[in-house]
Structure 1
């Protein structure tokens, strides 16, 4: 399963998320969109537009993920190097790997990363 994970600031819009997705996708489409549980409402707006299901990842599972990139804001707020990467990896399941590290939207408000599950 291919998962697009998202991290975003409070000022992000659905268009911010869509732009980050477009920049990160590398020719692939995600089957599922994911982010940290308390940020689901905005992501559900994009999911509705794209007709994709969403997964909310708990903070507990987020911090278990090893992310190759590091954002000081994400480390401070969530204890992970990248919320987008951690959400994608956690939602894709055990053994998942990143196919795209976090990419930032043009407006700087959202990030997106893609992961693929072991079953793909």
Structure 2
């Protein structure tokens, strides 16, 4: 059976992020239409606000290991993020990694107004 491209939202966020901030960043990146999953770095995949967001949109959370993110080249480059994670944008790298090997970004990183959440959207053939 043929499936169309899979859309994944990559999310980067601070420890104290709220559901509202994640929602706002995702909306700014293009929203939840057609979303197959949300993705983030493994050690943040069980954050309560992220679990609430995934439940709200009825999508799974894809946890991406830090060493996988570290190898991904992203259009957006944050020096602090690069020094910490080895990639320019956790949101962009997580979206690309979770959307599959030939994924491409359809929305580069956007930041919530309170600066606690970032979101990017990638499209690919799936893992």
TM-score by length of 2: 0.87
User: For the residues of structure 2 that align with 1:30 and 1:72, how far apart are their CA atoms?
Assistant: 29
Q: Is the 8 A contact 1:20 1:112 kept in 2?
A: yes
Aligned-residue RMSD, C-alpha: 1.5
SS at match of 2:93: helix
Consecutive unaligned residues of structure 2, counting only runs of 5 or more, are 1-5
Consecutive unaligned residues of structure 1, counting only runs of 5 or more, are none
Task: Give the equivalent residue in structure 2 for 1:102.
Answer: 109
User: For the residues of structure 2 that align with 1:50 and 1:73, how far apart are their CA atoms?
Assistant: 30
SS at match of 1:31: strand
Task: Give the equivalent residue in structure 2 for 1:47.
Answer: 54
Give the deviation of 1:28 after TM superposition. Answer: 4.1
Q: Is the 8 A contact 1:26 1:100 kept in 2?
A: no
CA displacement, residues 60-111 of structure 1 (integer Å, 9 cap, x when unaligned): 2111211000112211221110000000000001010000000001111000
SS at match of 1:17: helix
Residue of 19, 30, 34 corresponding to 1:14: 19
Larger displacement relative to structure 2 (58-67 or 108-117): 58-67
Question: Runs of 4 or more off by more than 4 Å in structure 1?
Answer: none
Equivalent pairs counted in the alignment come to 119
Task: Please identify the structure whose Cα radius of gyration is greater.
Answer: 2
